[in-house]
Amino acid sequence: MKKIVVLTGAGMSAESGIATFRDSGGLWDKYPVEQVATPEGFAQNPKLVLDFYNIRRKELLSSEPNPGHVGLAELEKDFEVRIITQNIDNLHEQAGSSSVLHLHGELMKAQSVKNPGLIVELTEKDNYEIQVGDKGSDGAQLRPFIVWFGEAVPMIEPAIELSAQADIYVIIGTSLNVYPAAGLLNYVPKDVPVYLIDPKEVTAYREGIRIIRKGASEGVAELAGELKKLYL
Ligand code: NAD
């Protein structure tokens, strides 16, 4: 089976009603990134940051995977599909994708501020919030399990390895502005076909990319049709 490696960003979940990062009217117009997505912002005002992610979690709990997520999960019938996502939502998993690597953490998990290896699942609908004073088993405050700007990205190494092993590479709904994720394309071997699905123009430094200028749902349907014609 051919191995398809898919890199997804905020646009993947836009049609599920989750706001993107940089599109105008996006979430981050309302909440300055320095306040809610940096360790300094958390140190300065932990309540504001915890509340921000509590609201994101509540939003996620009432969201559903869109046909794009479902289409990627269905590709597993005919291909080995490995997803690398910059998204912190769990909509790929909800759609049934079996291999999802989260580069920037997971919204439905909390982490001890003292011990990054101490992770707590926030699965129950009535227990999804983190408050100031909520502690892990080590007695330290819990924080969202999110890679904030300025923090290390521990999953980048396995993501690089996966990118280097792709037979087919697909990029969906990312402005390719956030590093190191944006640099993953550099590790994809030169002879590997690359597809890019995005309704807007995205600058990707690579020759010969097959651009599908559509939203995730329509774009994945077109991709699936093309891949089946070419490889099955
Ligand atoms: P970005 O906001 O910088 O770029 C989003 C891209 O998605 C744009 O190129 C836009 O044209 C495209 N897009 C918009 N609607 C689309 C659609 N319907 N279908 C397909 N593409 C569409 O996002 P990014 O590059 O992922 O970087 C943002 C950072 O913010 C990431 O680190 C991510 O972790 C985080 N973030 C995550 C979520 C989430 O978990 N769902 C949401 C917002 C931001």
Q: C-alpha distances in angstroms, 55 versus 32, 48, 58, 98, 215? A: 15, 11, 5, 27, 25
Active site residue 104: yes
Is 214's C-beta closer than 6 angstroms to any atom of ligand 1? no
CATH class of 1-18+65-104+152-232: alpha beta
Q: Output the average pLDDT for the chain.
A: 94
Would you say the CB of residue 212 lies under 6 angstroms from ligand 1?
A: no
pLDDT tens profile 175-227: 998 889 999 999 999 999 999 999 999 998 888 999 999 999 999 999 999 99
**Contact indicator for 34, 200 with CB cutoff of 8 Å:** no
Q: What pLDDT score does 20 carry? A: 80
Domains 1-18+65-104+152-232 and 20-62+108-146 share a fold: no
Give 193 Cα–ligand 1 centroid separation in angstroms: 22
Q: How far is the centre of ligand 1, averaged over its atoms, from the C-alpha of 12 (Å)?
A: 7
CATH topology of domain 20-62+108-146: SIR2/SIRT2 'Small Domain' (3.30.1600)
Which pLDDT score is estimated for 146? 97
Distance CA 81, CA 30 (A): 35
Average pLDDT over residues 47-57: 93
118 vs 24: CA distance, rounded Å: 36
pTM of the model: 0.95
The domain spans of the chain are: 1-18+65-104+152-232, 20-62+108-146
pLDDT above 80: residue 125: no
Spatial distance between the Cα atoms of 53 and 70, rounded to a whole number of angstroms:
25
Secondary structure class of 19 (helix, strand, coil): coil
- pLDDT, position 31: 80
Which amino acid, 192?
V
